[in-house]
Amino acid sequence: MEPRISIITLGVDDLSRSFEFYTDGLGLTPADDGSPDDGIVFFQLNPHLKLALYPWDKLAEDVGCPADGEGFRGVTVAHNVREHDQVDEVIEQARDAGANIVKEPEEVFWGGYSGYFADPDDHLWEVAFNPHDSIVEE
């Protein structure tokens, strides 16, 4: 397998609510290939990666598993920022958008600074500044 991820799809309970959270709340711009009316939404995160929002039950059906998953799912999505203070800014933006702040930003054991929020469907997002890594594109 070529080491490349092209789409991260989040199963959501209410597509319109999640669309508003990610657009109005977090400021993401929808891509042209989907809308709540189409039953799926895409956001172009970078030239090679999209975030998709798709109804939870339909995603479970597509995968072929029960749709009643609860609790920690063992997955987080990370958003790395360029500067330490941007962690606080993004966490506040998420809070203002209605996110549940799961972990307030703090200095972490690996030398960075991070916090976590949960979107309206409890998908966990880490917002992190890593002074040891240059994965954030200029």
Chunked into runs of 10 residues, the chain (138 residues) has average pLDDT values of: 81 95 96 86 92 91 76 80 95 97 93 94 92 67
Architecture of domain 76-129: Roll (3.10)
3-state class (DSSP) for residue 117: strand
* Domain boundaries of the chain, sorted by first residue: 7-62, 76-129
* Right CATH for 7-62 from 3.10.180.10, 3.40.630.30, 1.10.10.60, 3.40.50.80: 3.10.180.10
Cα–Cα distances (Å) from 73 to 1, 60, 67, 100, in that order, read 24, 14, 13, 16
3-state class (DSSP) for residue 22: helix
Structure tokens that stand for 137 in this block:
């594109």
pTM of full prediction above 0.75: yes
